[in-house]
Chain A
Amino acid sequence: MVQDLLHSSPGLLNFGIFFLMALTFLFVILGFVTYAILAERKVLGFMQGRIGPNHLGGRWGLLQTVADVLKLLVKEDLIPKAADRPMFIIAPVIAFAPSFMVVATIPFTDKLQFADLNVGLLYYLAISGITVIGTLMAAWASNNKYSLLGGMRATAQMVSYEIPLVMSGLGIVLLTGSMNLNDIVAAQEASGWYILWQPIAFVVFFIAAMAELYRVPFDLAEAENELVAGFHTEYSGFRWAMFMLAEYVYMFAMASLMTVLFFGGWLPPFEFLSFIPGAVWFGLKFAVVTYILYWFRATFPRMRPDQLMEFAWKVLLPVALANIFLTALLKELLNIF
């Protein structure tokens, strides 16, 4: 349906439909993120020997994150006197918007996808790079030294880890010959999941993705204990909520992307299991990847910035480059792709 609409002539009706669809999509994601955060808190609680949210909304704390978000939305809007007002206000939006834009290209099943782009992977990586501008703006506009240090770290980290991320993704593009995420999944039906063919790429991609998401052990940008709260030290209320939401949407988007790239998206693991709908398979794989991300958060301490940079440039990048070379060899020799 979306394809037909895209090719029809522009008009008010078209615009209306697109707008409504985007709005629905936004709310679906927001609702999902709300409960995924609850899941994270529950999983963390379970790993840390405590219960987690258990008061609001019954025994499982089902309304806890909803209440948290509402509380943040109605909080007093504070802007520091010395801050650069326009930049301070626009920064969360710039950080927030791309996180939703990237979700548009993720194929949840073979039919359920918002935009079937030929350059889906490239689009994802390019758009997600915009967020760092928001981060840097927030850091600069806050006029706070902690924010600035946090923002600088965030930028350096993002720029450094973007490269191994793209390079490890290239192996898959080489195998498939396409950047279309739909094609990438479809190609895995014949050859098997790419985690089998691209284990090195997966490890590099996973680590770089965690750094991109500012997750533990790479959460230096908001290293609470040394930089107070990093780039969003001065933010509170709904602006802060926007940063946090952006981060979480990215996390789930990245988990979806990893599912698509390495775990065969909506494909069942075995042929005889194909009676179960693709959406279920996607959900299961997605849940596993997300669970690992939660798990990491409960386990690891944080790295030091200089070690982090060294790791990106001296370890991840060479490994990713070697992987591209290996992949090319594999493709040439095996001849099954």
Chain B
Amino acid sequence: MIRTEEVLLNVGPQHPSTHGVFRLVLTLDGEVITNAEPVIGYLHRGTEKIAENLQFTQIIPYTDRMDYVSAMTNNYVLVHAVETMMGIEIPERAEYLRVLAMELNRVASHLLWWGTYILDFGATSPLLYAFREREMILNLLNELSGARLTFNYMRVGGVKWDAPEGWLEKVRDFVPYMRKMLDGYHQLVSGNEIFLSRTKNVGTYTKEDALNYSLSGVNLRSTGVKWDLRKDEPYSIYDRFDFDVVTRDGGDAFARYECRLAEIEESLKIIEQAVEQFPEEGPIMAKVPKIIKPPKGEAFVRIEGSRGEIGCYIASDGKKEPYRLKFRRPSFYNLQILPKLLKGQNISNLISILGAIDIVLGEVDG
């Protein structure tokens, strides 16, 4: 008889495919994972606690640093919550700028995911292609906000800067270019036998599991649940655009892959329509008091971020600072299903499963 024993393998916090400082303690039987225990908190900065001592405008840069891949949506959820509390009417032009910024950012975020996910499988070229296109979006957002990653673009009542001259035309030109590139992505990766064999029927969960684990975004839609807050609880001006909610039935890593790529197309549709409808003139800031003091009470808003539902809860006692601020960070909730998915899998499926969930550690740790 050969004496065998289980091996404890510590994956991370410094590990190339955990996409940040994420640690997983795995128990291995040969190459099969018998138990997985995620350890998080390496990037915890206490955003919510810090926010209790800041005025609302000062909190916005902190939201940039939660989901740093998709900062615009995080900006938006905070200002949206404050605006809801104070009942501020947002000017048209500002709304369109916000939607354009958010959708461009969503495309950039999905591109980054696409590149790194394929990189996890050892193919290096897609990453560079994805970054080439993402770079164009970052340049566009840079022209808009002056920053490439942590935009700090939105304000309570509107946006900080108006679109510079010629910006809309650049966005208009970007849409067909991105569509063309997307075709190339499909040709290069989507039909690749090796890629299919590594993602199909890997990391599968059912609709019930997804709902029980409170998954949202693509992780939910990949099981066939048609749920997108942009459609189901329209906020901002999303009810003016014609787009589809992408769902797949597989519930596996490949379904999530397909969903994300299809969502890029839907976002492009929204961008295209927003550019067409863009109001010529108008203010970009509503009339807001100099010092923002939401009335006493509480509010909870939620929006569809790039990774799922971002929620923002504000409890105010009528001061300049929030009494309590809480973010529902989608990556954190989406990550909870990981141990269940990993149990009994080969270790080489680890990256396929973890990558498909699409976490951003800044958001997981808050």
Contacts and interface: CB of A to CB of B under 8 A. Distances in A.
B254 to A, nearest CB: 13
A146 B16 CA distance: 13
B212 interface: no
Given A49-B132, A149-B31, A226-B17, A304 B197 contact: yes
Contacts of A145: 7, 9
Nearest to B349: A304
A255 B56 CA distance: 64
Nearest to A223: B122
A44 B123 CA distance: 12
B128 A48 contact: yes
11 contacts: A47-B125, A48-B125, A48-B128, A49-B128, A145-B9, A149-B31, A225-B119, A226-B17, A299-B125, A301-B192, A301-B198
Interface string A121-133: 0000000000000
Nearest to B121: A301
A220 B351 CA distance: 13
B123 A301 contact: yes
A280 B118 CA distance: 39
A304 B351 CA distance: 11
Interface residues of B, number: 30
Query: Majority SS of interface residues in chain B?
Result: helix
A228 B16 contact: yes
Interface string A35-78: 00000000010011110000000000000000000000000000
Interface residues of A, number: 28
A146 B9 CA distance: 8
B351 A226 contact: yes
Contacts of B9: 145-146
A226 B347 contact: yes
B124 A298 contact: yes
B291 interface: no
A48 B119 CA distance: 13
B15 interface: yes
A225 B16 CA distance: 5
B214 interface: no
Contacts of B17: 225-226
Given A225-B17, A301-B123, A306 B194 contact: no
Contacts of A85: none
Interface in A285-305: 297-305
Contacts of A307: 197
B317 interface: no
Interface string B326-356: 0000000000000000000011111100000
Contacts of B122: 216-217, 219, 223-225, 300-302
Contacts of B31: 149, 305
Contact of A48 (B118, B129, B198, B347): B129
* A50, A149, A226, A301: residue with the most chain B Cβ atoms closer than 10 Å: A301
B195 A301 contact: yes
Nearest to B346: A306
B129 A49 contact: yes
Nearest to B127: A48
Given A224-B16, A226-B348, A226-B350, A303 B125 contact: no
A223 B352 CA distance: 13
A231 to B, nearest CB: 15
Interface string B102-141: 0000000000000000111111110011001000000000
Contacts of A223: 122, 348
B283 to A, nearest CB: 41
- Tell which of B7, B31, B125, B346 has the most Cβ of chain A within 10 Å: B125
Contact of A50 (B119, B128, B188, B347): B128
Given A149-B31, A225-B16, A301-B121, A217 B347 contact: no
Contacts of A226: 17, 120, 347-348, 350-351
Nearest to B202: A304
Contacts of B192: 300-301
A301 B190 CA distance: 11
B121 A302 contact: yes
A48 B17 CA distance: 21
A298 B121 CA distance: 12
A299 B192 CA distance: 10
B129 A305 contact: no
A225 B194 contact: no
A217 B198 CA distance: 12
A49 B115 CA distance: 14
Given A224-B16, A225-B120, 5 more contacts: A301-B192, A303-B197, A304-B197, A304-B346, A305-B31
Nearest to A222: B122
B15 A302 contact: no
A302 B124 CA distance: 10
Contacts of B189: 301
Contacts of A50: 128
8 tightest CB-CB pairs across the interface, nearest first?
Answer: A302-B122, A301-B121, A225-B17, A301-B123, A48-B128, A225-B120, A48-B125, A298-B125
B194 A303 contact: yes
Contacts of B132: 49
A47 B132 CA distance: 13
A102 to B, nearest CB: 26
